[in-house]
Structure 1
Amino acid sequence: MRPAVQTDVTSRGKYETRLDPALWAYIDSVNAWYPQEIVGLPVDKQRAVYNRMCRAFHQGRPLGVKTRDGLIAAADRGIPVRRYQRAGEAARALVVYYHGGGFILGGLDSHDDICAEICAGTGFEVLSIDYRLAPEHVHPAAFNDALAAFEWAAKTSSLPIVLCGESAGGNLAAAVAQATRRHARAAIGQVLIYPGLGGDENAGSYVEHAEAPLLSVGDVAFYRDVRSVRRQSPDDPTFSPLRDTDFSGLPPTVVITAECDPLSSDGETYRDRILAAGGKAWWHEEKRLVHSFLRARTTVPAAAEAFVRIIDAIAALGRGEWPY
């Protein structure tokens, strides 16, 4: 994801020597897609650039992974989904995956290779959800689609469900986990990848990494405001999962964040609240990585190692095991 607000992408500041040269090459390649004039364009124009960038970063699907696109019937619309399966093998679990993109970007194609690699790495079926985007569809549209997708999966599949989401998708996965914790087919685990959960923006990583590469606190505020309905309640847990007052009954949870990311503290806080409520949760901060590091997994060794940890966590939870 690239910032949708005006930022100085040429100043590396304290991150100049803190980040690996290979990671800087990735950051520079992302920034190259976004000359400063793009930030003033309408969202549909920004989406077009984002989609082209995603195609450029696409790594292809691993051999043996087959896909099928379809629609989930929900209320007054169909929700586009893409199913990933490893050919010739019976899956032991179903991963419901919510993509990132600040609630305004992304879709089935933007995270296609990531979903395919999760399928290949775990042997599980993956269901990627093309939820509605802001500003055309403000909250709770994305959450409603995310919830409807879970309920459809729970009704139509006998496989145990693991929720997974990246960035904005991590917010949706957490919100769905909280809304469905007492469902007869509640998820048996969730894996959140640098999620934005609505934490305290005056403390922790929000302050220390306010101007981190690829995501700043200004960008976080922009995406939040675009998604918000008029008079949005800050205490709505379907909007900001950390604003919930009850963290009991949640599935075993693994949260992976990036050190140089204003959102990192959200993962730590979420873990602490689940543990305090008697649940199982593990948080790991990937050192010297930035928001969106999944796209750097083929060129940055630390990002590749983090992705292996993510796949291992999904695989363990899907087998009903606690990996930590």
Structure 2
Amino acid sequence: MEASEIHPQAQAYLDRQERLPLYPLRDRNLRFLRSFMRVANWFQNRDPPAVGSTADRTIPGPDGDLPIRVYRPEGEGPFPVTMFFHGGGFVIGDLGSHDLFCRHLTRESDCVVVSVDYRLAPEHPFPAAVEDAYAATEWAAEHGDELDSDGHLAVAGDSAGGNLSAVVSLLAAERDGPDVDYQALLYPGVGLAGDHPSEEHTGIVLLEEDMEWFRESYFGSELTMRNPYADPVQACDLSGMPPATVITAGFDPLRDGGKAYAERLVADGVPVRYDNYDDMIHGFASAPGANGIDRAMEAVEQIADDLRDAFGTSS
């Protein structure tokens, strides 16, 4: 499942990260950590790729105003809409941390991309992020005119955001909620309760103590991790789920959990495209064009192509 060695560009990224005084994350003051990452994201996003327009606004959320950023492609609408949920272990990340990814996805897919700034743990543990993600998806389905939507709706996310995308799809299917046409998941944080061979790669990007911190902050206990709305692999039936793209990375402790989710979907009759980037690391696609990893754009283009196919908008 992994290549003989990490891709040189990914290794160079790891070498640069080791020079930052951040790891392990759980040992850092959380306010400082989030502020530091916002500054780093500002430098990273100084020359972003152009899209038709971007707009920051708030929508009604379960606990007050919920910030979102709407990316609109160039050209005449209407367009399909893709909800995006960022990664960061449910503890870090915001609209800025994945701005480059959302811009590239907007350009490549010709979708309106709605990035959701959901509440973070430990201040807001499970199910706060789920409630926000689902509420934002419901809002998008009900306010298509404000988004110039053509009626098609997908969800996408990386890592923790991949978890949220899968959970939103499950909630929508079980509650007869928004009609989600597709789910696109990058190295999703799912299948977390089992013991997986890929956990040998703990320490590459994701340190063991940081993974434990993320889980403690968001889930609180192992009992919560058995809840299908915390981890959709725990669901009894996934047959009502939308088709999926699941991308994993060879040198990622989350790899086998993502693969297990893809296998569960297939077993329940859901069409799945599963690809393992065997020489890549966790988070490799989060900032295409900024982290020096060419395969980041390859992953964005793959997801964009799959969204186009799902929406019937392939050129």
Residue in structure 1 matching 2:139, options 152, 155, 165: 152
SS at match of 1:181: helix
- Give the TM-score normalised by structure 1: 0.87
CA offsets 1:117-147 (integer angstroms, 9 cap, x no match):
1111111101000000011111111110001
The code of the aligned residue for 2:302 comes to R
SS at match of 2:33: helix
SS at match of 1:169: helix
Q: Is the 8 A contact 2:163 2:189 kept in 1?
A: yes
Indicate the residue corresponding to 2:153 in structure 1: 161
Q: Is the 8 A contact 2:50 2:103 kept in 1?
A: no
SS at match of 1:136: coil
Q: How does 1:37-56 map to 2 (within 5 A)?
A: 39-56=26-43
Q: CA deviation at 1:73?
A: 0.8
SS at match of 1:50: helix
SS at match of 2:285: helix
CA offsets 1:133-192 (integer angstroms, 9 cap, x no match):
011111111110001001111111152101001110000000000010153532000100
Indicate the residue corresponding to 1:185 in structure 2: 178
The code of the aligned residue for 2:195 comes to N
Q: Distance in 2 between matches of 1:98 and 1:88?
A: 25
Q: How does 1:80-119 map to 2 (within 5 A)?
A: 80-119=67-106
- 1:313 lines up with 2:286 in the alignment: no
Q: CA RMSD in A?
A: 2.3
- Give the TM-score normalised by structure 2: 0.89
- Alignment gaps of 5+ in structure 1: 1-14
Q: CA deviation at 1:217?
A: 4.0
Q: CA deviation at 1:310?
A: 2.2
Q: How many aligned positions are there?
A: 305
The code of the aligned residue for 2:298 comes to E
The code of the aligned residue for 1:253 comes to A
Q: Distance in 2 between matches of 1:84 and 1:137?
A: 26
The code of the aligned residue for 2:127 comes to P
Residue in structure 2 matching 1:173, options 150, 165, 174: 165
Higher relative contact order (CA 8 A, sep 6+): 2
The code of the aligned residue for 1:195 comes to P
Q: Distance in 2 between matches of 1:30 and 1:295?
A: 14
Q: CA deviation at 1:221?
A: 2.1
Q: CA deviation at 1:89?
A: 2.2
The code of the aligned residue for 1:20 comes to H
Q: CA deviation at 1:29?
A: 2.2
Q: Distance in 2 between matches of 1:267 and 1:297?
A: 21
Q: Is the 8 A contact 1:97 1:169 kept in 2?
A: yes
SS at match of 1:294: coil
Residue in structure 2 matching 1:240, options 217, 228, 231: 231
SS at match of 2:58: strand
Identity %: 32
Q: Distance in 2 between matches of 1:25 and 1:258?
A: 16
- 1:137 lines up with 2:128 in the alignment: no
Indicate the residue corresponding to 1:202 in structure 2: 195
Q: CA deviation at 1:31?
A: 2.9
Q: How does 1:4-83 map to 2 (within 5 A)?
A: 18-36=5-23, 39-58=26-45, 60-83=47-70
- 1:59/1:30 Cα in 2 relative to 1: closer, same or farther (>3 Å)? farther
The code of the aligned residue for 2:261 comes to Y
Q: Is the 8 A contact 1:65 1:116 kept in 2?
A: no
SS at match of 1:93: strand
Q: Is the 8 A contact 2:56 2:70 kept in 1?
A: yes
- 1:292 lines up with 2:279 in the alignment: no
CA offsets 1:240-275 (integer angstroms, 9 cap, x no match):
111111111100011011110010111211111111
SS at match of 2:97: coil
SS at match of 2:136: helix
